[in-house]
Each structure stands twice: as structure tokens, then as C-alpha cells.
Amino acid sequence: MFKVLLVDDEPNVRQGIKMMIPWDELGCEVVDEADDGDEGLSKIMTLSPDIVIADIKMPGKTGIEMTEAAKAMGFKGKVLILSGYSDFSYAKTAIALGVENFILKPVDEDELIEAIKTAGEKINRERDRRYKQEIGREYLNEQLVKGLFAGDSEIASAMTRKYEFSAYCAAVICCGDMNSPREEQWALYGKIRDFFGSVSNADIVTVDMSGITAVLFKGWARAEIKELLEKIAKNCPGVFIACGGYVPTPDKIKESYSFAEGICRSIFIYRHLGLVTPEMTSDVPIESSDIAASVCAFMEINDKEKIAAAMRDFMKSQMYAGNTPERAKISCITMVMEIRSKLSRSAADKKPENLITDEFIAGLENSGSLYDMTKAVEEMLGSVSDDCFGKTTKSNMERVVQYIRANYSRELRLEQLAGIFGYNSAYLGKVFHRYTGENFNNYLDEIRITEAKRLLACEEYKVYEVAEMVGYTNINYFHNKFKKYVGISPLSYKKKHSGTGEEEM
């Protein structure tokens, strides 16, 4: 609809024009009226009408003076002048000012309608021309920006001469994921475009038709970029944003873009973050094999909070290692299988393979994101911990002793237990001694030697095998410890209780 402003000091004339013209048929709407040139000028600059129909002779400014002042202030609309004067000098002045038509009073209805139609047609042609020009400029600029993202040396050289900015930064924005309906992706794309409609020195371009766009920030401060991207992430649920690093010259823009584009290719890893910046991917990698050992320990003491914390560490290990989605899934599956294997030695009569099933492990391949996969594993491990080790109300020292008795065959140190149970190692040593009457090492040796005596009485095990089975990797150390607690060597004990005459080594 074209907005129309009527300016005439005679209310009857304004009312007559309003009533005689079929505004809807012409695609017009009378948005306001003014009864003199000064008020008319004020409303022109406030309302920005498309068409102004004004009398030539009014109190204050005349229609010609009002038009001249409005044009000088940037008004681009069409003006139709009504006049009871036939003096040609008025018409010449009006034409010089770009007035569309000079219509004599009394106004002829058909003449005015035709003048309005002509003005509307000109407005549409001008809009179409401006639109095509704008589209052309946008297309050319988009190709230049895409060339910078691709590392085109000629474009980078040309932009180095054209740009005068201190730094540059690229960001890639994913509107939903590949499985999102196309309508949702384009709705998000439109909202994102709106964010950049009122900012300067930020070029947004379409990367592909799956809802992925890229932005080149020119001369922005890091904090300003982060603030805007955080605002987009907050107000556009479903978007994922990767921001590249800060670079000093146009020929380095590809580096910034490549980082952001690489993060988006690994959206499976980072989806839960919403917004990723370079500093979020630069931490020291965590070994997932260490995490598996920790998770087993926390499961055996049935500590859900520490299981959850360990799984968060696993997520970080995948993020900071820069893993692909495929490698992250393999790492997760390998970790779960390792946990299942470790638990088989400490889960009493429960069989972890019946709880951590092959079907569950295979299903991890279909996870939609690293976060979803990790949460599924966390919930499953918590459930297995309940089933295998029970929800206990035992005191912490009872749980420490239970853990030692279940894991005596592994390498155990007081510092390890302190980390698992959240103690300072020196403090744990003191509390443990008060609770058991023994220091940690003696208590562990007694459990191991007691089990070694039972195994040595079995004909099928050799002495070195028993040593390994109860946690001693050095056969001589085992020999000395056994003799200290039992009074005779392991071989002598075996001969006495199993009736075999095997060689000790």
C-alpha cells in the first residue's frame, strides 16, 4: 500500500478528495492530513509518505515551498500539486522541484486518479530498480567475501587495498541441523539476517542451501563479536555458531573461516555448547583410558556425582582432541567396553555384559550428538552401579575398605583412594588407621596374602601366577612379603597345602 498525505487548508477539499478517490483499488491509504504547509512539512518528515497531495496556496509555507524544503531534507516521495491558479510560472517551479503533476482546481476526479496511478507506477519502477541495484551489490559483495573465505589471493590483494580495518574475524552459523525441516531452517536464517540488518562492517553470506551462513566481521573488537553471537544464540534456539580467530589482514581471513567451518563440520562434538570460540578448544587433552579407570572406581563405590563428572571429562577429552564424530563414537564405545571388562572382576555375581549389553553399545553409533551419547552412557553406568554395587548407606571408611577388598589385585595406592573418595591422602591415611587399626599398606598386604594362601592351595596355579593374581608384579617382592606374614615361602606353603612339588619359578 502506498502511504498518502493530504495537505490543504480547506477541510472540505481534503474531505472531498478522501471520498472521491477509490484508495483501496489504487493500492493507497490516506495516513494523515495537514492544514498548512508548515504542518505538512513536519508530517512529511515524520511519516515518510509515498505520495503527497498538496494545495499550492496555504497559510505559512506554500505547497511549492513545503515541497522544496522536504526535498532539501531528503524526501523522495511523489508530490501532486493542486491549484486554483493557472499561472504557468507555478507549473515551471513545480516541475523543477520534481513535482509529479500540477492539477487545477476544481479537481477533476478522473484526472486526479490518473495522476495517482502514474505516481504509483513510477514509485514501483524506482523500487524495482533500487532492488535490482541492491541485489547486484549484495551479490558482488557476497562473491568477494566468499573469495576471501576460500583464500583467493587476487581478491585478498584487492581487498587489502580497499579495506582499512585493524582486524578481521569469521563466524559460521548453522540454522538447525541436517534433519531439521527446511521451513525451520529458513525461519532461523531470516531471524539471523535481521540481527545483521542494523550493524555495520559485518558481511553475512549464504554458504549453502542447508541453512549454513557465514559472517565476516571487519574491525570489530573480540568482546563485541562475542556479545553479538551470544545474543543470536540466546534468541534463536536451534542455531549453532562457530567463531574463528582474530586475523590482522584480508589474506589471513581464510584461516579464521577454516577454523569455524571445521568446528561446524564436527557439530556432533560441539552441539551442546551452542557457541564455540577458539579458546574453548585449546585445553590440554584428557586420556579417555584414564577416565575408564576412574569411572570403574566411582561405580564400585556407587558415587553418581563422580560418575557424571568423569563423563564430563570424557566429553572434554573429545572436544580438546579435535576428534571427528566418527572417532568420538569409537572412543566412547571403546571406553564403555573397557569399563565392562574392568567391572567383570569386581561385580560379584552380577555379569556386567548382561547389564552393559552389546545392543546398547551398538546403539551409540546412532547418537545425535556427543552430549546425547555421553548422557546415555552416564545414565546407563549409574544404573549398572546400582545393580552391581548397590545403593549403600555405609560410612566412607566402610566404602574404602569395600573398595580395597574388591580391587586388591590391581595396583592400589593411598593417593589413588584419596582421589576416588575426595580426601587429602595424609588425612585419609590417619582416618583409615583409626578405623582398621592398620596402615594402608599393611592392610592391603594382609588381604593379598590371605588370598594368595587360598590360591596356592589350588594345584592349578603356579607361584608366579598367584603373585600376579593378587597384585604383586615382582615375584621376589611377593616372596618376601609372603614369608613375612606367613613365616614360610610361597612354594613351601604350596607344597604343604596342595601336595605339588613344582618349581617356584
* Cell digits of residue 259: 577454523
User: Domain residues for 221?
Assistant: 153-281
Task: Quote the CA–CA distance of 394 and 338 in Å, as a whole number.
Answer: 28
pTM, two decimals, is 0.56
CATH code of the domain containing 51: 3.40.50.2300
In a domain, 147, yes or no: no
Q: Are residues 364 and 400 in the same domain?
A: no
Q: What is the pLDDT of residue 91?
A: 65
Task: Quote the CA–CA distance of 64 and 422 in Å, as a whole number.
Answer: 86
Supply the mean pLDDT for the chain.
85
Q: Is the pLDDT of residue 287 over 70?
A: no
Task: Quote the CA–CA distance of 215 and 278 in Å, as a whole number.
Answer: 16
Q: Is the pLDDT of residue 55 over 80?
A: yes
Q: What is the pLDDT of residue 505?
A: 39
Task: Quote the CA–CA distance of 195 and 175 in Å, as a whole number.
Answer: 14
User: If DSSP states are collapsed to H, E and C, what string results for 280-302?
Assistant: HHCCCCCCHHHHHHHHHHHHHCC
CA angle 328, 210, 219 (to 5 degrees): 85
311-315 long-range contacts (CB < 8 A, ≥24 apart) are: 311/374, 311/375, 311/377, 311/378, 311/381, 312/374, 313/286, 314/286, 314/288, 314/374, 315/370, 315/371, 315/374
What are the tens digits of pLDDT across the range 101-154? Answer: 888 888 899 999 999 999 999 999 998 888 777 666 777 888 889 999 999 999
In a domain, 221, yes or no: yes
Q: Are residues 258 and 297 in the same domain?
A: no
In a domain, 470, yes or no: yes
**Domains held by the chain: number:** 4
Which residue stretches of 176-240 are H helix?
182-195, 222-235
Q: Are residues 8 and 110 in the same domain?
A: yes
What are the tens digits of pLDDT across the range 181-231? Answer: 666 767 777 788 888 877 889 998 887 755 688 999 999 999 999 999 999
Which of 237, 265, 281 is the C-terminal boundary of a domain?
Answer: 281
Q: Is the pLDDT of residue 251 over 80?
A: yes
Q: Is the pLDDT of residue 348 over 60?
A: no
Q: Are residues 294 and 363 in the same domain?
A: yes
Q: Are residues 12 and 103 in the same domain?
A: yes
Distances 245 to 118, 172, 242, 251, 469 between C-alpha atoms, Å: 54, 12, 10, 14, 53
Task: Quote the CA–CA distance of 195 and 17 in Å, as a whole number.
Answer: 42
In a domain, 415, yes or no: yes
In a domain, 137, yes or no: no
Q: Are residues 230 and 121 in the same domain?
A: no
What is the radius of gyration, based on Cα positions, of the chain? Answer: 41
CATH code of the domain containing 249: 3.30.70.270
Tell me which amino acid residue 396 is: N
Which residue stretches of 97-108 are H helix?
none
Q: Are residues 346 and 427 in the same domain?
A: no
In a domain, 306, yes or no: yes
In a domain, 78, yes or no: yes
Which of 242, 260, 281 is the C-terminal boundary of a domain?
Answer: 281
In a domain, 467, yes or no: yes
Which residues, in sequence order, are CB contacts of 92 under 8 Å at separation 6+?
Answer: none
Task: Tell me which residue of 262, 277, 137 sits closest to 203, measured CA to CA.
Answer: 137
Q: Are residues 274 and 200 in the same domain?
A: yes
C-alpha 404, offset from chain centre: 43
CATH code of the domain containing 412: 1.10.10.60
Task: Quote the CA–CA distance of 40 and 57 in Å, as a whole number.
Answer: 13
Which of 227, 253, 281 is the C-terminal boundary of a domain?
Answer: 281
Q: Are residues 159 and 88 in the same domain?
A: no
Band (503; pLDDT cuts 50, 70, 90): very low
Q: Are residues 317 and 417 in the same domain?
A: no
Q: Are residues 181 and 243 in the same domain?
A: yes
Task: Quote the CA–CA distance of 76 and 423 in Å, as a whole number.
Answer: 77
Q: Name the range with the highest mean pLDDT among 318-332, 334-348, 402-416, 479-493.
A: 479-493
What are the tens digits of pLDDT across the range 355-365? Answer: 788 899 999 99
Q: Are residues 14 and 114 in the same domain?
A: yes
Q: What is the pLDDT of residue 321?
A: 75
Q: Does residue 266 sit in helix, strand or coil?
A: coil
